[in-house]
Structure 1
Amino acid sequence: MNKNKTDQLLEKIDKRLDSIEERMVTKTDLKNELSNYATKKDLKEMASKKDLDRFATKKDLELMASKKDLESMATKKDLKSIATKKNLKKMEVRIIKKINFVIDHFDGENTEIKQRLDKVEKRVGLYASSI
């Protein structure tokens, strides 16, 4: 009877070892899995030093626009004061008044000039209304 229990125990151990072996990953499995990932060599080929040299460095960027250069550029406030909608409207009114003055005091001999002035007036009005 002792031998029978020993055999049973050995069988249990053998089955347990089989199940453990099934779950284990072999070296070849690991190699196959790792082969799917990029190697150092692959990464070097993807972006060689020559390729990386083409990108702008910090020094390049600093040379492009220094802080002093950026400070000398127009600020938002400067740009707003250059041409506000109100200023453009005033300009439109002055231009139209001048055009109307010329049209009113035109002797009417050359209608081509009068037509051209009308076109300019329309363009000025359209431009000002689009702002």
Structure 2
Amino acid sequence: MESENLFKEEQTEDIKEEVNTEEFVDDKNPRTDNKNITPVQLEFISEKVVTDWKKLATKLGFKPDEIEFFEQENPNDVDKAKNMLGLWFEDDEDATIENFLYILEGLEMNHAAESIKSEFNVS
């Protein structure tokens, strides 16, 4: 009887391990991977947000020392914006063109958002 209970406990542990190691996949809402932004697209976006790149960097979650790094490592504001945006698109799991446009609109950077929508054919 006791060995029977041990066997059931082992099976339960095995099942728990299987459940905990499975990856969640939502087939009804597949995540589109827009991380493959091209250098040309990155350049275009950087030119559109160049005047407010620091405000945007803060909103995207970059800390003051990271913003200072962008300033020190890049010769002009377009390159600063490009460096910052390149890292964001590469590292942030929510970095999509749609989310980026939403952020721009929230910052009232509407001219930049409209230019990017037009260039990327996003509605």
Structure number with bigger Rg: 1
TM-score, scaled relative to structure 1: 0.25
Question: More relative contact order in 1 or in 2 (CA 8 Å, sep 6+)?
Answer: 2
- TM norm structure 2: 0.26
